[in-house]
A and B are shown apart, each in its own frame.
Chain A
Amino acid sequence: MDILVQTLADGLVIGAFYSLIALGYTMVFGIIKLLNFAHGDLYMLGAFVGYTLLSLLSGSGTGAGLMGIVVVLLLTMVIVGLIGMGIERVAYRPLLLAPRLSILITALGVSLFLENGSMIAWGAQYQVYPLQLSHDGWNVLGAQITYTQMGLVLISALLMLGLHQFISRTLYGKAMRAIAHDQTACHLMGIDVHKVIGLTFFIGASLAAGAGTMAGAYYGTVNFMMGFIIGLKAFTAAVLGGIGSIPGAMLGGLLLGMMETAGTFVFGGSWKDVVAFSLLILILVLRPTGIMGEKVTERM
């Protein structure tokens, strides 16, 4: 029983990170039908920008208080969100009408660029996060659930709730949903399509960056390659939930996190990634629309 609860709790934290990244995948895919390979690297960038900001903050001798951490998190999200917008402007916008293969290869190039740019900027070795999170917590049915874990899940839930409100309540959210349906019609209706696409990239990138900063604090170390595997897994989560569907991405992330933790427990840690990728291939074969996807599989 205690193992089950522990697995659920650990999986929930990882799942929350996956959900936040999967949201960016799904939003960008929903709006311009692009698989943004570089998305995992925005998560990595978020971890590094957060690392630098926290280092600056604790370097001044005050130490990062709770308020400081929140400020760093928000600031990181804004900075990386702007970088995401910049990437869209420079690399993807000129290719929106090009063959699909071109834009996929471009995304790959952006990913290479971000990874190696970060390696040059922050070094190839693992960096230790300048933040000690408490290991205290509650004992629930024999499982140890730390306050940190609860805090991270809570922040993730707040971010997702905020996104949901934004998409369903605001005019820009409405525009996003409309563009996902029919871009040409939106253009004719006077919606500034490029502006909304840019905004989508901003939101997607900042959610991934938020996950990156939190993951950096949670695991304690960051590295320039940390975005690669997790990007793949977040994509798995997005597909699991149904790509293009926002609640699907949230659900898919949480499910994948828990399944993976369970898989690690059953098969051992070295098979963790194989579990996730096999799951991806299975979903694509058996139910390519995912749990919440409504659209039938379309061709090129």
Chain B
Amino acid sequence: MSLSRKKISVALLLIVLCLLPFLSNNYWLDVATLALFYVVLAQGLNVVVGFAGLLDLGYAAFFAVGAYTTGILMTVYHWSFWLTLPVAMAFAAVVGVIVGAPTLRLRSDYLAIVTLGFGEIIRILAINLSITGSASGIYGIPRPSIGGYVLSGQMDFYYLILIVAVLAVLAVRRLGTSRLGRAWMYIREDEDAAEAMGINRINMKLLAYSIGAVIGSMAGSIFAVKMSAIAPLSFSFTQSIMILLAVVLGGLGSIPGVVLGAVLVIALPELLRSVEDWRYLIFGAALVAMMIFRPQGLWPARYEVSKTASRVSPSVRKGDEADVSLDVEKYNA
């Protein structure tokens, strides 16, 4: 019964999201578009931090890789937007492997710092190189078109990012409940035990990192054509932190939680306009408070893995489920 109620509420939410452009003014439509960008980015980071437990502090770098790849290919080489999308994603995956391969072997803390340094390197490269338009960035990125229809209005991009966000949520959800997802969570909970069970921890981490990179770059590509101008300022450390905040606030590894977190991170500053200077101070305090009092997030992951597993194969022993719930307790504690 709860399942059907869940389905109904998801369907209702989708209908509201589809009707939103007709119900709200331009300002709130813009906020909603930005929130959907954050949903995509936060789901991508959720794979890395939430599932695999790798703290990535330079996630905006992949957002930048996608945006700049699309921007350069479209303005300099006059490619079609739809062709730049796979190239940007492949490029981000390669960059992810290059950064991840040497560092994922090390302690997880090192990864955090290296990704932070990497994020800064990408930003400084974007400022210094002439192909990325230096500090002023790339402007005049053409609008994409489907058939003969040119996507140009606010509403067009809202629907485009809505479709991508839904796809991202579905993809990450399915990844989380797959064999891969279980391997990631095992690594997150106990790396040595996971390796003893035959999971190749380096490859699995690398895969998580690259998949996160691909999702981030996809959001970046769409960001580039939506804004039609990109500058290094959009890909700062603060951006990485805000995406991370969305994941942590919502609940590490929780799909609905991360969506909620992304919406909150975008909507709260809009509602708190009057205390603008205090915004990040409040966010910083919120991070600390969350970790101390509610590390599982506002909408914690429920570990649907065990449910689907028992549904697919009824022969699963009771003991397995008990083990899973034990893990959950350890993680939440």
Q: Do A and B come from one complex?
A: yes
Point out the residues of chain B lying under 8 angstroms from A273, CB to CB.
120-121, 124
**What is the interface of chain B mostly: helix, strand, loop, or mixed?**
helix
Selecting from B26-34, B83-91, B104-112, B215-223, the interface stretch reads B104-112
Q: Give the residue of B102, B109, B277, B288 whose beta carbon is less than 8 angstroms from that of A281.
A: B102
Looking at the complex, which of B10-18, B37-45, B256-264, B278-286 is the stretch in contact with chain A? B278-286
Of the residues B105, B108, B291, contact of A98 by C-beta under 8 Å: B291
Chain B residues with CB under 8 Å of A99's CB are 53, 295, 331
Residues of A within 8 A of B97 (CB): none
| Chain B: minimal CB distance from A283 (Å) | 10
Do the beta carbons of A95 and B292 come within 8 Å of each other? Answer: yes
Q: Is the CB of A113 within 8 A of B281?
A: yes
B287 touches A106 (CB 8 A): yes
Q: How far is it, in angstroms, between the C-alpha of A238 and the C-alpha of B202 when the chains are bound?
A: 25
Is residue B241 within 8 Å, beta carbon to beta carbon, of the partner chain? yes
Partner of B117, one of A112, A117, A271, A280: A280
Tell me the complex Cα distance, A114–B287, Å. 13
Q: How many chain A residues touch B (Cβ–Cβ < 8 Å)?
A: 48
Chain B: CB-nearest residue to A282: B102
Specify the main secondary structure of chain A where it touches its partner.
helix
- Cβ-defined partner of B280 (8 Å) among A115, A280, A298, A300: A115
Bound together, the chains give a CA A74 to CA B114 distance in angstroms of 34
Say yes or no: is B47 at the interface (Cβ < 8 Å to chain A): no
Task: List B contacts of A299 (CB < 8 A).
Answer: 107, 191-192
> Are A116 and B125 in contact, with the CB atoms below 8 A?
no
Q: Does A277 contact B (CB under 8 A)?
A: yes
Quick check: is B237 within 8 A (CB to CB) of the other chain?
yes
The contact string, 1 if C-beta is below 8 Å from chain B, for chain A 74-87, is: 00000000000000
Contact B108 A109 (CB under 8 A): no
Q: Decide if A270 touches B57 in the complex (CB within 8 Å).
A: no
Are B292 and A91 in contact, with the CB atoms below 8 A?
Answer: yes
> Are B241 and A112 within 8 A (Cβ)?
yes
A280 vs B292: C-alpha distance when bound (angstroms): 31
| Complex Cα–Cα for A108 and B156 (A) | 37
Q: Is A111 an interface residue (CB 8 A)?
A: yes
CB distance A116 to B291 under 8 Å?
A: no
- A281 vs B116: C-alpha distance in the bound complex, in angstroms? 11
Complex: how many Å from CA A117 to CA B106? 33
Roughly how many angstroms separate A101 CA and B251 CA in the complex, as a whole number?
13
One of A94, A101, A120 near B55 (C-beta < 8 A): A101
Q: Choose one: A91, A95, A280; the contact of B113 (CB below 8 Å).
A: A280
Collect the chain A residues with CB atoms within 8 Å of residue B306's CB: none
Q: Which residue of A116, A228, A288 contacts B281 across the interface (Cβ within 8 Å)?
A: A116
B128 touches A105 (CB 8 A): no
> Told that A112-B241, A273-B121 touch, could you supply 17 new A-B pairs with CB distance under 8 A?
A33-B109, A98-B291, A99-B295, A102-B291, A102-B295, A106-B288, A108-B244, A108-B287, A109-B283, A109-B290, A112-B287, A113-B284, A229-B120, A271-B128, A281-B99, A281-B114, A284-B114
Closest 3 CB pairs of A and B: A109-B287, A112-B284, A113-B284
Q: Interface of A with B (CB < 8 Å)?
A: 33, 35, 90-91, 94-95, 98-106, 108-117, 119-120, 228-229, 232, 235-236, 239, 270-271, 273-274, 277-278, 280-281, 284-285, 288, 297-300
Q: List 14 A-B contacts (CB under 8 A).
A: A101-B53, A101-B55, A104-B109, A105-B287, A106-B288, A109-B288, A112-B283, A113-B281, A120-B278, A270-B128, A285-B103, A288-B106, A297-B107, A299-B191
